[in-house]
Amino acid sequence: MAGRKKKKSNKELHPGWGGYRPGAGRKGHGLRAKLQVNVTPDQKLAYDTAGGREWLREVLNRVGATLQANPIDGNKMKLDGCTTPAWPVTNDPTHYKVDFFLEGVQAGFPSPASDYKEDGLDFNELLAPNPDATFCVNVTGDSMIDAGLTPGDTLIVDRSKTPRNGEIVIVRIDTDFTVKRLRIVNGEIELHPENSSGRYPILRPKDAEEWCMIGVVTFVVKKV
């Protein structure tokens, strides 16, 4: 009597099956927490363009490292009774001075160069004289393009300054953040965009809205 024929395995039937496949298998045990947040279309586009979930994990890792190194800052910044996530400037910056010539460079006709220079310029002292109250944020959207704020620029924001009429400010409206020109009209606050297209309206406080003044933009850093 012939023996029973051995049944072929899946690997023999499908030679291409098995082996390592990127992304296959059980996910890492550390990825258990979930985040859910409502964002604007511009913010969603910036998130996708930057790399999506992997980019966000990298950002959160860097923020976590900063907070571990500077626990005194906490993971929140507070201003006028409101609380919002911060990108703090480190309390222990590295100081390095670069050569700084007193004479400015001509944007029109050239002038004789000067060899005289000061002791040097430290960008920490220039951009963040109040590091405990300073944070940085990148620009998304083009509502302030006529003010020179273009997508990808880095804004230096000082939370210790009292906002004044005509200054560029960061404001939280409910759960959304915006950068606009502060105007006081007839004693009322208005946030003015600066984009000649006319696509962006002037923002005024509405009933049931929560407005929170975050800080004053003091510098903009951009690539040329």
Q: Which amino acid is at 191?
A: L
Nearest CA among 123, 130, 125, 116 for reference residue 98 = 123
Measure the CA angle with vertex 47, ends 44 and 50; round to 5°.
Answer: 150
pLDDT (tens digit, 9 = 90+) per residue, 170-219? 998 888 889 999 999 998 999 999 999 999 999 999 888 889 888 999 99
Residues 6+ apart with CB under 8 A from 220: 139, 148, 149, 153, 154, 155, 156
Structural domain boundaries in the chain: 75-89+130-224
| Residue 111 annotated to the active site | no
Q: Looking at the DSSP assignment, which residues form a beta bridge with residue 217?
A: 157
| Residue 180 annotated to the active site | yes
Phi and psi of 213, rounded to 5°?
-75, 115
Of 48-57, 78-87, 160-169, 200-209, give the lowest mean pLDDT range.
78-87
Tell me the CATH number of domain 75-89+130-224, given options 3.30.450.270, 3.40.640.10, 2.10.109.10, 3.10.180.10.
2.10.109.10
Stated pTM of the model: 0.57
pLDDT (tens digit, 9 = 90+) per residue, 67-112? 555 443 333 333 333 444 445 565 566 776 666 666 656 665 656 6
Residues 6+ apart with CB under 8 A from 101: 114, 116, 117, 118
Of 4-13, 43-52, 133-142, give the lowest mean pLDDT range.
4-13
Choose, from 180, 197, 206, 223, the residue flagged as catalytic. Answer: 180
Residues 6+ apart with CB under 8 A from 25: none
Choose, from 143, 161, 196, 223, the residue flagged as catalytic. Answer: 143
